[in-house]
A and B are shown apart, each in its own frame.
Chain A
């Protein structure tokens, strides 16, 4: 079955740039989406279609995709950005798949 691979954890100091990667064989043909989940809350969409930012999401969140890797970048990470981040995409039959998630620590 199709898999998306993320690093389990990323740690940065406040104000630094955090980069979270997501690799998958179908990413050259399929969009990547990024979801932020804070403890005890429902996920929130922060990037869609590789690089688009929904309204209300701070400009420090950006996304890119090249080849088999998508990247979520948080420029000038804030303490409130501490959360789990999940990439999401679909396989050739339209079935969804989430990456394993990356715990972002900002301290």
Chain B
């Protein structure tokens, strides 16, 4: 069965970086993309970006350009999302999701809480 298992909760200080992992299993990793979505406390879903696990192509949300980097390691079927220069408003649950194409996010990770606080 398809599973996406994310790394554990993180607490970071403003200005620091965080790297969240998303390990995939139960399907051919390189046949799909991975999207990252975050949700601030009490708020809606926010699309952060997408990476092709096939060739590493990326497409990032305009507001995060320059601060976010998405990568994959095909040898371990793991996707990573790194966010730099953290601010308090980056406090959120971060989700990875398998993307079949065009917006079909059919399987989601369990979410990773990132708290940014001094």
Contacts and interface: CB of A to CB of B under 8 A. Distances in A.
Interface residues of B, number: 21
Interface in B71-118: 95, 97, 102-106, 108-111
Contacts of A99: 44
Contacts of A98: 37, 44-47
A61 B55 CA distance: 35
Contact of B103 (A90, A93, A100): A90
Contacts, number: 62
**Secondary structure at chain B's binding surface: helix, strand, loop or mixed?**
strand
B59 interface: yes
B59 A89 contact: no
Given A42-B109, A94-B59, A100 B44 contact: yes
A96 B102 CA distance: 9
Contacts of B62: 1, 95
8 contacts: A31-B102, A35-B105, A42-B111, A43-B108, A48-B103, A94-B59, A97-B47, A101-B44
